[in-house]
Structures are given as C-alpha cells and as structure tokens.
C-alpha cells in the first residue's frame, strides 16, 4: 500500500508545510497537499516520491517567485512526480532536476528569469498536459544526456525559443508545439550559469545529494543551511499586517511606563512617596520589558524566525479586557480619554493574534523553523 502524507496548515493532525511532509517521506510516498499558497522551496534528494494537489489543478501554488536563487522544486538523484500543481520560480527555474526522473502532469510551471523546467545530468523527463512559461529564456532547457517527452504541453517563452535542447540531449514533442522544428538541438547550452556560491539554488541540488531531512534545502554546513533558508520567499500579508498592528502597542507600553514615572516624580513629597517610587520603578521596568519583547517579536515575525510576538500581543489584549471590565463594573460604557488608548491598542493586538493564526502565517513560520 502506497503511504500518503497530508499537508494542510489548518488541520492540526496534518503537516503544516510541504517541506515538513518531505522530511517524513520515504521512497514511494505520496504527499497530498490541501488548497492554498505555500511559500516554500522544496528539495528532494535520493528519494522517489509524488507531490499532488488534493483537490485538483490550480488549487495548490508553491511560490518561490521572490527568491533570486531557489527553485520552487528541485530533485537530485531521485524521482519526482508532480500532479496538478502550480509552481512559480523567480530568478531560478520553477523545477530543477539533475540525475533524476521528472514526471509532471496537469501542472503550471512558470519562472521569471530561469527556465520553467531545467534538466541536467542525464535526467529523464515526461511532461504531460502542462503549461510551461519562462519570461527570460526557454521554457524547457534540456541538457546533455537528458531525454524526455512533451505531450499536450504548451511551452511559452518571453525571449527566444520556447524549448532549448543541448547537443547530446533529446526531447520528443507529442501533440505539443515546442517552438523548434522537431525539438531541434540548440548549439549552446542556454541555461543560466551557476552562481558563485554553488548553492542548491543553481538548479543542481547538493552535489552529494545530502539535503536536510525537512526537504527544503541543503544542510552540509552552516553556510549552506543559511543559503537554503526560505527567508527570501514572499512574506504573507497576514504576517506583515500583524507586525505593523503591534507597532502602536510597543509605543503605548513605552509611553505608559515613562508617563507613570514622570507622574510620580511630580507628586508632592510625603511619607508614602518612597512606596510610590518603588511601584513606579517596577511598572517602568515591566513596560520597558514588554516594549522590548514586542519590538523583538515584530522583527522575528517579519523575518519568520519566531512567533513570540503573540506573547506581548496577548498581554496587550489582556489590557483591553481589563479596561472593558472596569467600564462594566463602573457601569460607564462611554469612552473616557484614559480608556480610549488601551481599547484601541488592545483591539489592534487582538487582530494581530488572529492574523498570526491564519494558515499562510503558520506556513510562513513553519517553513523557517523547519530549516
């Protein structure tokens, strides 16, 4: 029986990211992905598996379009079967394969700068009913020693031939129009040169096939691990909005701590003023701590490294609740000047927490924590 792993960010029992499912996949595994946009760069090494859209064509998008170096999917020394997926590359190919077998059915593969499909090192291709589009070069680039077929595919290029086949390579169209008569070989290999850092984003994958367990990039050393982070991928709008909504909270806590301390300073001297000073120092320290954690949380949410922003957001929401309770107890439900700020800031924090719980936000943090 073929093992199947399910990916669905809104289901706790399923894998939250495709990369996390790849980490648990074994030879022959089918990774079934729920509808949504996944901001990931997928790497499959020394394994043969299938990634499919659970609910049919066009429902699953793997988006690496804002990465200058990472392909949306890469396979080295293995086999990759893609079904009904939309994969978007930016500066790198949408799909890059080396010394592997690639099968794609009903997929839409696009890239801005690199080929939609880049095949190297004796790779075998079988592309069926796929839309292939590259803005800056050939939609399909077939290297020396590679073999493949295009069946009912639509390759498109914004510059030059739609299909480029290097000497020693062969691509047979069947019911497709590759843009070259009979898949004529192109004398020079049209694929972009590998970047100097030789990271897996050059389309070849790690030379020894030792990708990380999570299937999202190399893990041979700290430098290559950092190079493979999906941090260059597009930040979900939910995360950006949550981070921006917490900026007023940080300012409010800072101003509150300083304001209370100044008020105590201006209080007339008396027998109990020393106690007020102790309270003021404690409140100032607490407000400064919450401010610092909020600022750090905003930054870590922005980069995708941590969700600690939910901590200070929760404290701010608690302030919102306390203010409402005070109004209810006093039976004065009209706004007062002193109550307006915590109500507004607490409400914004509640919205930020809700945004951080959205599936795309969870996928953003999971993709980074998996590295």
Alpha helices in 25-158 (DSSP H): none
**The predicted structure's pLDDT at residue 189:** 37
Give the Cα separation of 194 and 122 in Å (integer): 18
SS3 of residue 344 by DSSP: helix
DSSP 248-309: HHHHHHHHHHHHHHHHHHTSPP-TTHHHHHHHHHHHHHHHHHHHHHHHHHHHHHHHTS--TT
Question: Rounded mean pLDDT of 302-325?
Answer: 78
**The predicted structure's pLDDT at residue 238:** 84
Give bridge partners of residue 110 from the DSSP assignment: 88, 133
Maximal CA-CA distance, the chain = 97
| Burial of 183 from C-beta contacts in 10 A (0-12 / 13-18 / 19+) | buried
pLDDT tens digits, residue range 147-184?
999 999 989 988 778 999 998 899 998 765 544 433 44
CB atoms near residue 161 (< 10 Å): 18
Question: Rounded mean pLDDT of 320-344?
Answer: 66
Show Cβ contacts of residue 315 under 8 Å, excluding neighbours closer than 6 positions. Answer: 290
**The predicted structure's pLDDT at residue 228:** 34
| Total-model pTM | 0.54
**The predicted structure's pLDDT at residue 193:** 34
State both tokens at 45. 């090494």
**The predicted structure's pLDDT at residue 336:** 57
Give the Cα separation of 124 and 254 in Å (integer): 61
249 vs 178: which has the higher pLDDT: 249
223 vs 286: which has the higher pLDDT: 286
pLDDT at 351 over 50: yes
Smallest Cα–Cα separation from 106: which of 83, 138, 87?
83
Question: Rounded mean pLDDT of 289-294?
Answer: 88
Smallest Cα–Cα separation from 228: which of 199, 251, 206, 255?
199
Show Cβ contacts of residue 269 under 8 Å, excluding neighbours closer than 6 positions. Answer: none
364 vs 189: which has the higher pLDDT: 364
pLDDT at 52 over 70: yes
Please provide the average confidence, as pLDDT, over all residues in the chain: 78
**The predicted structure's pLDDT at residue 181:** 37
- Counts for the chain of helices (H) and strands (E), in that order: 8, 20
**The predicted structure's pLDDT at residue 209:** 34
pLDDT range class, residue 111, cuts 50, 70, 90 = very high
pLDDT at 328 over 70: no
**The predicted structure's pLDDT at residue 199:** 36
**The predicted structure's pLDDT at residue 371:** 43
Question: Rounded mean pLDDT of 240-264?
Answer: 86
pLDDT at 118 over 90: yes
342 vs 104: which has the higher pLDDT: 104
CB atoms near residue 315 (< 10 Å): 17
Question: Rounded mean pLDDT of 342-355?
Answer: 85
State both tokens at 358. 């959205």
Lowest mean pLDDT among 102-111, 201-210, 247-256: 201-210
Most confident residue range from 14-18, 178-182, 199-203, 276-280: 14-18
**The predicted structure's pLDDT at residue 51:** 97
Tell me the HSE value of 249 on the side-chain side, using a 13 A CA sphere: 37
**The predicted structure's pLDDT at residue 148:** 93
N-term to C-term CA, the chain: 30
Give the Cα separation of 177 and 173 in Å (integer): 7
**The predicted structure's pLDDT at residue 91:** 84
């Amino acid at each position: 029986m073929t093992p199947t792993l399910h990916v669905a960010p809104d289901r706790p029992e399923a894998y939250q990211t495709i990369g996390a499912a790849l980490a648990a996949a074994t030879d022959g595994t089918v990774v079934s992905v729920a509808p949504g946009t996944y901001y990931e760069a997928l790497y499959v090494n020394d394994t043969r598996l299938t990634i499919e859209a659970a609910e049919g064509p066009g429902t699953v998008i793997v988006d690496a379009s804002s990465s200058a170096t990472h392909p949306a999917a890469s396979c080295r020394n293995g086999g990759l079967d893609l079904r009904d997926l939309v994969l978007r590359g930016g500066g790198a190919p949408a799909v890059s394969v080396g010394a592997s077998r690639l099968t794609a059915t009903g997929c839409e593969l696009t890239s801005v700068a690199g080929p939609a499909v880049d095949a190297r090192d004796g790779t075998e291709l079988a592309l069926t009913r796929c839309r292939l589009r590259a803005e800056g070069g050939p939609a399909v680039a077939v290297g020396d020693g590679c073999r493949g077929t295009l069946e009912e595919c639509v390759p498109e290029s914004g510059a030059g031939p739609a299909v480029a086949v290097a000497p020693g390579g062969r691509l047979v169209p069947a019911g497709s129009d590759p843009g070259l008569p009979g898949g004529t070989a192109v004398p020079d290999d049209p694929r972009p040169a590998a970047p100097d850092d030789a990271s897996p984003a050059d389309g070849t994958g790690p030379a020894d096939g030792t990708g990380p367990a999570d299937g999202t990039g190399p893990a041979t050393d700290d430098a290559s691990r950092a190079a493979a982070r999906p941090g260059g991928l597009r930040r979900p709008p939910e995360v950006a909005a949550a981070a921006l909504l917490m900026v007023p909270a940080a300012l409010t806590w800072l101003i509150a701590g300083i304001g209370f301390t100044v008020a105590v300073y201006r209080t007339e001297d008396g027998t109990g003023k020393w106690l007020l000073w102790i309270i003021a120092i404690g409140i100032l320290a607490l407000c400064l701590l919450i401010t610092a954690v909020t600022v750090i949380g905003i930054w870590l949410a922005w980069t995708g490294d941590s969700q600690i922003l939910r901590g200070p957001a929760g404290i701010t929401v608690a302030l919102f609740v306390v203010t409402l309770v005070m109004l209810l107890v006093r039976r004065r439900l009209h706004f007062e000047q002193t109550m307006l700020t915590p109500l507004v800031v607490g409400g914004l924090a509640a919205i930020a927490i809700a945004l951080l719980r959205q599936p795309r936000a969870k996928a953003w943090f999971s993709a980074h924590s998996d590295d």
